[in-house]
Amino acid sequence: MARTIGKFALAVLGAVALQAHGASAPVQPQRQVPDTMAQRTQACTVCHGKEGRATNAGYFPRIAGKPATYLYNQLVNFRDGRRSYAAMTHLLDYLSDAYLREIADYFAGLDLPYPPPQTVDAPAQLLERGRILVQQGDAKRELPACVRCHGTAMTGVEPATPGLLGLPRDYLVGQLGAWQNGRRHTPTPDCMARVAQKLSAEDVGAIASWLSAQPLPANSHAALSSPDKRPLDCGSVVQ
Amino acid sequence: MITRTLRQFLVLLLLGVVAAAVALWWNERDESSTTSAPEALAPTPQQIERGAYLARAGNCAGCHTARGAKPYAGGVGIATPFGTVFSSNLTPDNANGLGQWSSGDFWRALHHGRSRDGRLLYPAFPYTSYTLVSREDSDALFAYFKSLPGVSRPNQAHALDFPYNSQAALAVWRALFFTPGPYVAESDQSAQWNRGAYLVRGLGHCAECHAERNAMGARKDPLLLQGGMVPLQRWYAPSLAAVHEAGVNQADTEPTLALLKTGVAQDRSAMGPMAEVVYRSTQYLSDADLLAMVAYLKDRPGPSIPRPTPVATEKSAQYSGGEQIYARHCAQCHGERGEGAPGAYAPLAGNRAVTLASTANLVQAVLNGGYPPSTTGNPRPYGMPPFRQSLDDVQVAAVLTYIRQAWGNTGGAVPVRDVVQPQ
């Protein structure tokens, strides 16, 4: 008898507990989180680093302080399949152009210090080959110097050309490789695809090594305009 | 002996011929309304606008517009357990699209699942639902597609395994699992209820995900909307009827309406395939149509899925490990007591999505993160970070076990095998 009563009491308690849980959420003061872009973009900074300034030790590129239109174009390109990285595409699939523009403007507007350059132990010969390709190009192969579009300081050119410094070597190699094998595109004319396809594997290694060994200049901002006419037409600039 | 074998053979042959005749008759019944020549269309602007609205109600672009490509030019590969089906070009291009189609051809495709050239269409094109669409709405959709700029992208052949690539197999499937509509209003229900039923069961094709499928890929009990795995996507579309799943039939109207209109409600948000549905489809529907859909959904029969058995209250080592991971990675947004933050982060305490028997959606959310859709009603959503880079499978299983059992939640522990995914 006592056992039956015990069982009954347990059953009643269980039912009450279930009801309390199922009927409505317990009354709690409603939490508020900051109504900011920093809070909204935590899905970005988990990989791209605090405030979008990824350390250059890994693969993920820094996004803080890059030209706004460049960042916006990349977000649209990931969403629309011109760049291929499943994690990015998944996050951006159902975001509007207006919100992507706001996200791009937010990260572009961050003005934060850079860490020291990543590559410190590359062979001098490799670095020199990289320096020449970046600063002078190779006229024999009709290969324009990187600085002609990306700015003499290599910090990018507003509004849509990114800087090349402060990025991980692996990321630079990965991007040049993606341009070569068609996994990264811009709207036509796809100038970077044309440039990248002229590069050998050794060229790519040299360029990435030299760029990732360079410190940022005192003024790390993108140049407001290009010093001379671009050597190639680029769909990305007017995208 | 020979006579017996011959007799058996002849009987089988006869049965085969009869079955083929029945399948053929079954597949072609009620098709007299088609016309062959494209008629001169004179659609009104209102009809085209109506068609654009209906195309959104059916999320036609979800399958017929490829990523970053021209609208409705097709070419999207839809992975099914039977192979890949490629969507077709719906633009009015003469060679590759609907240029040569008549409104009758279009109606036959939508209503009977048969193409202009007589081929049976694969039900990845959900004519199993669209068959309910009225002729008037079919004509409006057709007028809209005909008004688009033509795109000359050729259609791509399906990549299906044998025997699914044969028309004969498809005819048999249709004889077993497809009944042409159209929607017949139920006279004992209100006009609003009937409008909702027409949208949910027709263009909305909700049952294509929210109903379980059998081994042949056909929906079981589509009217019940009892939930099912989305084929090949590792997402679970919860039961809209079971109170411990989405339980739309038990809930107030307002949260369901808000979810369909904006992608978020006070205590929930749309992620994964449902985020797409809200982003491309339901956010554009009128309040009247959304209210009708909710009214119909609220009237679905009650749950038949048993509530998961509450687990033992003793906390495991996995739970304790998960508690630490939660404090470090999750509490900042979801709150120390899983209370969430209204409009930004869903609460985890008392959230039915957390304690579903299927852990598929939780695993997706933690590994890949995601944003609810940005909609007119919620243009700047807060996002969930992907944790694939920072947590391993054992840690993901632990933190999910914790959130399923903390704060009074009564979900089961999550085995590591539920988290492991082929890359």
CB atoms within 10 A of CB B35: 12
Contact B242, B303 (CB under 8 A): yes
Name the residue ranges covered by the structural domains of chain B. Answer: 41-177, 191-298, 317-419
The pLDDT value given to residue A4:
47
* Residue A15, in any domain of the structure: no
Q: What is the CATH classification number for the domain harbouring A94?
A: 1.10.760.10
The pLDDT value given to residue B3:
72
Q: What is the ipTM of this complex?
A: 0.90
* Residue B228 φ/ψ, nearest 5 degrees: -175, 165
Of A25, A46, A80, which is closest to B350 when you measure between CB atoms?
Answer: A25
pLDDT at A20 over 70: no
pLDDT tens digits, residue range B13-54? 667 766 766 666 666 666 755 556 677 778 999 999 999 999
pLDDT tens digits, residue range B136-194? 999 999 999 999 999 999 999 999 999 999 999 999 999 999 999 899 999 999 999 99
The pLDDT value given to residue A11:
42
Contact B356, B411 (CB under 8 A): yes
pLDDT tens digits, residue range A182-217? 999 888 899 999 999 999 999 999 999 999 999 999
pLDDT tens digits, residue range B364-382? 999 999 999 999 999 999 9
Q: B334 to chain A nearest CA, in Å?
A: 9
Determine the average pLDDT of the residues in B193-212.
97
The pLDDT value given to residue A238:
73
CATH code 1.10.760.10 for B317-419: yes
pLDDT at A180 over 70: yes
Q: How confident is the model at residue A120 (pLDDT cuts 50, 70, 90)?
A: confident
Check A46 against B278: CB less than 8 A apart: no
Question: Structure pTM?
Answer: 0.89
**Distance separating alpha carbons of residues B49 and B317, to the nearest angstrom:** 59
pLDDT tens digits, residue range A67-119? 999 999 999 999 999 999 999 999 999 999 999 999 999 999 999 999 888 87
Determine the average pLDDT of the residues in A147-169.
95
The pLDDT value given to residue B309:
65
Q: CA neighbours within 13 Å on the CB side: how many for B240? A: 26
The pLDDT value given to residue A1:
43
pLDDT at A9 over 50: no
Determine the average pLDDT of the residues in B84-95.
97
CB atoms within 10 A of CB A51: 17
Q: Looking at this protein, which amino acid is placed at residue A138? A: D
Interface test with B, best of A31, A84, A184, A188 (most B CBs within 10 A): A31
pLDDT tens digits, residue range B236-280? 999 998 888 998 988 899 999 999 999 999 888 999 999 999 999
* Average pLDDT in chain B: 91
The residue in chain B having the minimum alpha-carbon distance to the alpha carbon of residue A23 is B350
**Distance separating alpha carbons of residues B347 and B331, to the nearest angstrom:** 11
Sequence-distant (≥ 6) Cβ neighbours of residue B265 within 8 angstroms: B254, B255, B256, B258, B259
Tokens of B217: 């890929």
Contact B58, B281 (CB under 8 A): yes
**Nearest Cα to Cα of residue B308 among B359, B373, B349:** B359
**Distance separating alpha carbons of residues B371 and B380, to the nearest angstrom:** 10
Percent of chain B with pLDDT over 70: 91
pLDDT tens digits, residue range A21-78? 444 444 556 889 999 999 999 999 999 998 888 876 778 999 999 999 999 999 999 9
The pLDDT value given to residue B9:
74
Q: To which CATH superfamily is domain B191-298 assigned?
A: Cytochrome c-like domain (1.10.760.10)
Instruction: Provide, as residue numbers in chain A, all residues whose Cβ is less than 8 Å from the Cβ of B279.
Output: 93-94
Instruction: Provide, as residue numbers in chain A, all residues whose Cβ is less than 8 Å from the Cβ of B67.
Output: 79-81
The pLDDT value given to residue B315:
80
**Distance separating alpha carbons of residues B389 and A91, to the nearest angstrom:** 14
The pLDDT value given to residue B1:
54
| Domain that residue A60 falls in | 37-211
Q: How confident is the model at residue B343 (pLDDT cuts 50, 70, 90)?
A: confident
Q: How many domains does chain A have?
A: 1
Angle A95-A100-A101 (CA atoms, 0-180°, nearest 5)? 150
Instruction: Provide, as residue numbers in chain A, all residues whose Cβ is less than 8 Å from the Cβ of B379.
Output: 96, 98-99
Determine the average pLDDT of the residues in B97-105.
96
Determine the average pLDDT of the residues in B331-341.
96
* Residue A216, in any domain of the structure: no
Of A21, A79, A102, which is closest to B350 when you measure between CB atoms?
Answer: A21
Instruction: Provide, as residue numbers in chain B, all residues whose Cβ is less than 8 Å from the Cβ of A75.
Output: none
Between residues A229 and A36, which one has the greater pLDDT? Answer: A36
Same fold, B191-298 and B317-419: yes
Check B369 against A26: CB less than 8 A apart: no
Contact B338, B347 (CB under 8 A): yes
Contact B89, B97 (CB under 8 A): yes
